[in-house]
Structure 1
Amino acid sequence: MSATLSRWSRALVAVGVCWLVGWQAAALAGFPRRTTVTLGLYGFVLHVVFGKAYSLVPSYFDRALAWPHAPAVTLPLVVVGSAGLAAEPVDGIPAVVGAVGAWSWALGVAVFLGTLAWTLRDNLSGAETGTGDHNADRRRIDRAANLFVPVVFAYLAVGSWETLAARAAVSPLIDGYPPRATHLLAAGGAALLVFAVGFRLLPRFLVAGLPDWVPWVVLPTGALGPALLAAGLPAGTVFRTGAVVEAVAVVGFAAAYAHLYRSSDRERVGFYGPLVGAGFGVLAVGLGLSFAFWPVDPTLVAAHYRLNLLGFLGLTIVGVTFQFYPPTVGRFPGAGDDLALAALAALTGGLLVEVAGAVVSAPLAVSGGRALALLGAVAYAYLVLGVFLQRARE
């Protein structure tokens, strides 16, 4: 059963990696913004989130996944869902494609949430952490992190329902305004899970520690901010409050990771991903604060979502996957830390050039940055998928 779970969890991650390449190609080709946001959020970020959550969350709650075949059922549903939702905004695509995608996505998320909810049903608070005695000093932070995982599930449920309600004959919980669903899923579903899982994973990766109070700055604000942002969009006091609260969470997480990085005596290429991602996260919330308190510059809206999805969430995911699937274990041409570092550099440099181009209204720089990011995504996919294929053959 553990082999089945591991295989299909990796498959979800692998498909997410492929979505990253497709997303960068679509951005370079000039596809509609709603298409590229869908490819980045629903395709890349959330596919990887589903894959790693299936394998990590049960163990973090000292449980075994109730249904090891759940990832195999989730995978085709969320793939069809992402494809349909991404295709819908393209000219000439009938609305039914988006409706089918929304239903398929909702069913896939229902399988994911239902399976994990049943798995954790007698330990929803996360008091049982599965933390061994050799890490007894980490239990307080582990319990704090676990406590917010059900909040992540709530955001995924509400965001997916709003996605469905915007395209099918079901009543929305809010009003069906698409950016609300995007913020619920990205900030509430993905970013909050990065915070919660990050407080468990990252100190262990870097063999460093944090004060016990740090998660209590980041996690409550990370849990409240997305709700305020979604409820307050596109402007107003609630939206401004949400932008400030979410900024506290992201800046707090960035400071926590910077502390871990400085405290660690280990050197791994994967450590650079969350470090650079945290920096992009700070830039993203800074831009978000400008949207909340001053007139919105439409040319910077795309930069904001790229900083969040590719910068903060994307590069954090890239770095963490390099930790789980080290390039150095690859026995195929080019495998190793040099190519991994080049992939991170291309994604980072491409995003910086793109954002700078957006700020100064230089379309050529925007396109050049996206082309460089595409090269980084291809290199990243080559390394991760190469390791997966190598494992499958062993």
Structure 2
Amino acid sequence: MSAATTSRWARLFVAFGALSFVTWQLATLAGLPRRVGVALGLYGFVFHVLFGKAYSLVPSYFDRQLAIPRAPAVHLPLTATGTLCLALAAATVPGVPSLVGSAGATLWAMGVAVFLAALGWTVRDNLTGAETATGGANEHRRPVDRWANLFVPVALAYLAVGTYGTLALWTPLPPIVDGFAPRVTHLLAAGTATLMVLAVGFRLLPRFLVASPPRPLVALVLPAGAVAPAILAATLYDGIWFQVGAALQGIAVGGFALAYVWLFVRTDRDRVGFYGVLAGAVAGLVGVALGVMFAFSGVSAPLIEAHYRLNVAGFLGLTIVGVSYQFYPPAVGSIRGVGDRTAFASIGAIAAGLGLEVAGLVAAVPLVTTAGRGAVLVGVLLYAWVVLALFWERHWRGSVRS
């Protein structure tokens, strides 16, 4: 199976992620339980885009080729079906048996096992990432690349633990600590997804923007981002160690945001995707600030909701949107309504909508919250339209006709 085939499967992962992003916003507007949003937003959107791009990027970053080329074809049906089952079970629809949740968690775990086995076997003789395939004009990036590679296995370890935690929520397996679901969410969202954004981002984004981040920030951000999720998951929401974990997570996301702003200011390039990552960085700063506030001042339901939305739809979501537009440039599309203007509008609608939504949650004004969520939905629909239209035009239309 060729690299082109791996890229085709990566697009299918991204397509499923985009559709999950839309479905998540619809579920949020409909007032479905937050766990439905976690299933669709985190497991469905964030992780499926992450899986698809990891199959393409991680082997090359470790100077290897994917050792099990058929892994994506086995993986996607398992985690996609598992995600839908988890969302359905979390919706507590009358007549839906708890077996659906157990089946969803099991399918998700099976897909993750395929993913971890494929990447683990691929990098088995280069676990520290010392071999980076960095050379030529990028020779000066090698120290940062080696440091970033070192944290990819840490993120994958969090994925393994978080997946076990997901299984334990829906099956008789012993739970992590006390079975409190947000512990599992933090392991996956902060431990895997955020740490992967930090580690892969410090390799990917400097090349996109043709600039170099401050090395002291890189040296500080990655260890903080590796340690914080374990502390947060273990101590949620109480005590001095929870404060330590929140502070470390703030350092990680805040430092990454500062590093990206540094790159953004210094670059001579202007691409629509850069603004998505910038908006994600701003959302991440506000999201972790709320997390630090929880640790030192106590929690409230509206602020927890704002924290969750800013981090998953904002930091992770907008960053993914921005990077997607780099891999799949809207400007190359010829379908009506696909281009940089639509892409920029999607970023603006998501960012502005999140701002309105958070303001409504904090001020306890439901109408503002709903208006913000509606704007986010519009932005997400535009994002899905651009990405899926590009895939159809450049990759799928010919194969369907043939």
Which category describes the TM-score, using the shorter chain as reference length?
Answer: over 0.9
Q: Secondary structure at the match of 1:166?
A: helix
Q: Residue by residue, what CA displacement relative to the aligned partner does 1:56-110 show, whole Å, maximum 9, x if unpaired?
A: 0000000000111111111011111111111112232321111000000000100
1:335 aligns with 2:346: no
Report the counterpart of residue 85 of structure 2 in structure 1: 84
Report the counterpart of residue 272 of structure 2 in structure 1: 269
Q: Which residues of 2 match residues 293-332 of structure 1 at below 5 A?
A: 293-332=296-335
Q: C-alpha displacement at 1:302, in angstroms? A: 0.9
d(CA) in 2 for partners of 1:199 and 1:36?
28
d(CA) in 1 for partners of 2:190 and 2:127?
21
One-letter code aligned to 2:205: L
Q: C-alpha displacement at 1:175, in angstroms? A: 3.3
Report the counterpart of residue 105 of structure 1 in structure 2: 108
Which residue, out of 126, 147, 153, partners 2:156?
A: 153
Q: Which moved more, 1:286-295 or 1:263-272?
A: 286-295
Q: Identity, % of aligned pairs?
A: 57
The gaps in structure 2 that reach 5 residues or longer are: none
1:40 aligns with 2:66: no
Report the counterpart of residue 384 of structure 1 in structure 2: 387
Q: Secondary structure at the match of 2:364?
A: coil
d(CA) in 1 for partners of 2:231 and 2:314?
22
Q: C-alpha displacement at 1:176, in angstroms? A: 2.4
Q: Secondary structure at the match of 1:84?
A: helix
d(CA) in 2 for partners of 1:172 and 1:353?
37
**Contact (CA 8 Å) 1:163, 1:176: kept in 2 or not?**
no
Q: Which moved more, 1:175-184 or 1:263-272?
A: 175-184
Q: Give the number of equivalent residue pairs.
A: 394
The TM-score, its normalising length taken from structure 1, stands at: 0.98
One-letter code aligned to 2:206: P
One-letter code aligned to 2:102: A
The gaps in structure 1 that reach 5 residues or longer are: none
**Contact (CA 8 Å) 1:243, 1:285: kept in 2 or not?**
yes
d(CA) in 2 for partners of 1:338 and 1:74?
34
Which residue, out of 157, 173, 182, partners 1:179?
A: 182
**Contact (CA 8 Å) 2:214, 2:259: kept in 1 or not?**
no
One-letter code aligned to 1:23: W
Q: Secondary structure at the match of 1:222?
A: helix
Report the counterpart of residue 346 of structure 1 in structure 2: 349
Q: C-alpha displacement at 1:298, in angstroms? A: 1.2
Report the counterpart of residue 281 of structure 1 in structure 2: 284
Q: C-alpha displacement at 1:391, in angstroms? A: 2.0
Q: Secondary structure at the match of 1:125?
A: coil
Q: Secondary structure at the match of 2:170?
A: coil
Report the counterpart of residue 28 of structure 1 in structure 2: 29
- Name the Cα RMSD after superposition: 1.0
Report the counterpart of residue 165 of structure 2 in structure 1: 162
**Contact (CA 8 Å) 1:37, 1:305: kept in 2 or not?**
no
Q: Secondary structure at the match of 1:214?
A: helix
